[in-house]
Amino acid sequence: MAVAKSQSQEGGPTPGAPRLHVAIVMDGNGRWAKRRGLPRTLGHPRGVEAIRRTVEAAPTLGVGWLTLYAFSTENWGRPPGEVSEVMRLLKAYVNSDLDNLVREGVRVRILGRREGLAPDIAEIVERAEARTAHNDGFHLQVAFNYGARADIVQAARQLMEAAREGRLDPEALDDKAFEARLSTGGLPPPDLVIRTSGEQRLSNFLLWESAYAEFVFQDVLWPDYGLEHLKAAIAEFTKRERRYGGTVADDVLAAG
């Protein structure tokens, strides 16, 4: 897999424009397979192909950070065979693509709980992060064993412990201090959140971080996703007027 470099092209980013953080709920692998009369598990390998296409396309469209919702804390309740297939594909993806991600300047970061992961999964997660830690050309975050509510609770627990031990003055707690304790600490908030498959909900994904993100819901199953779909979502995003709780008049006054 080659990760394309950010470049100026028709429909591509404007030179010098800020890079976007795009987060995607990759939904529809099982339905893709079911519509073709196939077992649900056969949708997941095609979903991995869509990940490769999207990671390659994103930098050409002005995306600097791409966060993919791969496996939630709730997904452990799916049939064991399906869970095993997802784990197998995670290992296969890292083993086959990691060298190229390193060469292409991609930094990989895994969001979510590490506790309780099988040793082989924990090893592959740590290896992907360690080998790409020096890269900064493109940032790929994979939300794995992730749930936003659990992440918020964990951050609150850490802050409570710091306050109890005298390492934190509760009066000094603010948004930035809280955000630093989340799995996404140090990342910019998402500008755009995309969900595929036509469903219109967050499903416990980046609840805190998406407070002022724009949302685009696309009626395409994830295994069919690629450059043109991502380009269409970003084109829709560019039409939005982001006010961050203000109004047009407030923005004009502030600028003056």
pLDDT, tens digit, 9 for 90 and up, residues 98-120: 999 999 999 999 999 988 899 99
pTM over 0.85: yes
Domain segments of the chain as ranges: 20-255
Residues annotated as catalytic (active site), given as ranges: 27, 75
CA–CA dist 232, 218 (Å, integer): 9
CB 94 within 8 A of CB 50: no
Beta carbons within 8 Å of 63's beta carbon, 6+ residues apart:
19, 20, 21, 22, 138, 230, 234
Provide the token pair at 135. Answer: 């890269």
Pick from 115, 187, 178, 113: which is nearest to 143 by CA? 113
Give the pLDDT band of residue 136 (cuts 50, 70, 90): very high
Chain centroid to Cα 46, Å, comes to 18
Mean pLDDT of 115-142: 95
pLDDT of residue 66: 98
Q: Give pLDDT tens digits for 207-244.
A: 999 999 999 999 999 999 999 999 999 999 999 988 77
Q: Which CATH superfamily is domain 20-255 in?
A: Decaprenyl diphosphate synthase-like (3.40.1180.10)
List alpha helices for the chain, DSSP H.
29-35, 43-57, 80-103, 119-132, 148-164, 175-179, 227-239, 248-255
pLDDT of residue 39: 93
Question: Can you name the residues that pair with 146 across neighbouring β-strands?
Answer: 72
- 167 CB-side CA count, 13 A: 7
Mean pLDDT of 145-167: 95
Q: Give pLDDT tens digits for 10-43.
A: 445 556 667 999 999 999 999 999 999 999 999 9
Mean pLDDT of 70-95: 92
Count of C-beta atoms within a 10 Å radius of residue 211: 12
Pick from 238, 143, 226, 222: which is nearest to 187 by CA? 143
